[in-house]
A and B are shown apart, each in its own frame.
Chain A
């Protein structure tokens, strides 16, 4: 049973394209995290959300609590955005992670 589902699993885009990664979850949450995992394995936290929308540079994250759904958008994508993007939720007791979306941005 997967508490967190992400789509797509793999995504290839041309530089400059607008990208959307989706995350659905099935548990009650205290927060949702979007993480970026680099090819070397390191993980960076991009956003933590419990409601609404957040923006940081070219990245935008939204969450709909009623629908248990979140999206991560990348505007004007760049090859350096190539990474695995992971959605994770915390219930206050546990963390659950999605399997990640592998993004490749081609110049």
Chain B
């Protein structure tokens, strides 16, 4: 069964550094999402992406964050200047159709540790 792939599984970075988290969604999916989960807390929505542009974003997704689909397969989340509070598990998800029409498929997550 096709799956969403995220790399790396664990990323350690120093405060102030830029990080790029990578995701390969399922190939025929058109909608892409990033979520994060701070350790011990609930999952939070960051951003949704469709047709090469951001559809929706949450208050968390400020100017430090950006997303890109640089080619036909990858979907990336960039954090420009990491802060300690960015330490979290970041999940990518994709769906075939828009929200409410098809289920979400999640990657296994990237654990980001900012020191």
Residues of A that sit less than 8 Å from B by CB: 30-31, 33, 35, 40-45, 47-48, 50, 86, 88, 90, 92-100
Contact = CB atoms under 8 A, between A and B. Distances in A.
Nearest to A46: B103
A97 B108 CA distance: 18
A97 B45 CA distance: 8
Interface residues of B, number: 23
Decide if the interface of chain B is mainly helix, strand, loop or mixed. Answer: strand
Interface in B40-79: 41-45, 56, 58
Interface string B89-115: 101010000011011111011010000
B34 to A, nearest CB: 11
A93 B106 contact: no
B99 A97 contact: no
Given A42-B109, A95-B35, A88 B43 contact: yes
Contacts of B99: 30-31, 90, 92
Given A92-B99, A93-B56, A95-B35, A45 B42 contact: no
